[in-house]
Amino acid sequence: MVDGGLFPAPGRRREPAPGAVHVPGWLPPDEQRRLVAACRDWARGPVPMRHTRLPRGGVMSVRTVCLGWHWAPYRYTRTADDAGGGRVAELPDWLAALGRRAVAEAYDDPAAGAAYAPDTALVNFYDAGARMGMHQDKDEKSDAPVVSLSLGDSCVFRFGNTETRTKPYTDVELASGDLFVFGGPSRFAYHAVPRTHPGTADPALGLAGRLNITLRETGLTDAG
Ligand SMILES: O=C(O)CCC(=O)C(=O)O
Ligand SMILES: [Fe+2]
């Protein structure tokens, strides 16, 4: 099932699963442009954007660069040991603040927003053929929500359940500027990006492809 129909009204919240909230058109165009520019900066280093290698030999089709903590399957470290060894860039305060606003508005809960303290961001770039298989975000030692921001080409975002990587799931269309937050009973739900829709980005954004930023709380400290 596709959630929301052809032309969902910007800003209307919907909840494909308990604790999973989709806010279409959350980021206005100027904030989208600012984020695209920031992603370009982060992709330049100190750690390069790379196709993540999986332990069984696979290579992810998306390219990823991380802020705050570096994710490589299946843990977080401060240095990018599978991508040149550099120390990851800081997660900027303004991005954490955007995450707090996202949680507050998605859940209509200012206290939940104020309590949110993301310390890592994964920035994924999808070219026309890239996708992401069904997985859980479960390397974090915190059950705080994941905040997802989408830019550029729209995609199909498959949002499932916590038990299996199969049905029941809901296929949600994520477009540029959309916010998706998953926490509470949906925090560890399986999800995927089976495909993007190449060429659907607004040319004014200046991005060919899709960017997705997820903010997370790792629950980690440098003390280990
Ligand atoms: O690209 C997306 O919308 C989802 C990305 C994702 O699931 C992840 O980075 O773990
Ligand atoms: Fe994920």
Q: What is the ipTM metric for this complex? A: 0.99
Q: Distance of alpha carbon 143 from its chain centroid, rounded?
A: 16
Domains in the chain with CATH codes: 13-216 (2.60.120.590)
Predicted pLDDT at 6: 64
Ligand nearest to the CA of 175: 1
Cα of 136 vs centre of ligand 2, distance in Å, is 6
pTM to 2 decimals?
0.95
Predicted pLDDT at 223: 79
Q: Relative to the CA of 192, which ligand 1 atom is closest?
A: 7
**In this model, does residue 75 exceed pLDDT 50?**
yes
Which of the two residues, 80 and 10, has the higher pLDDT score? 80
User: 2-11: which pairs have CB atoms within 8 A and are 24 or more residues apart?
Assistant: 2/171, 2/172, 2/173, 3/170, 3/171, 3/172, 3/173, 4/172, 4/173, 8/173, 10/177
**In this model, does residue 1 exceed pLDDT 50?**
no
Closest CA to 178 of 43, 62, 14, 64: 14
Cα of 7 vs centre of ligand 1, distance in Å, is 23
Across the chain, the runs of DSSP E, i.e. the strands, are: 2-3, 14-17, 20-23, 63-67, 70-72, 75-77, 120-126, 132-135, 146-152, 154-159, 170-174, 179-182, 191-197, 210-216
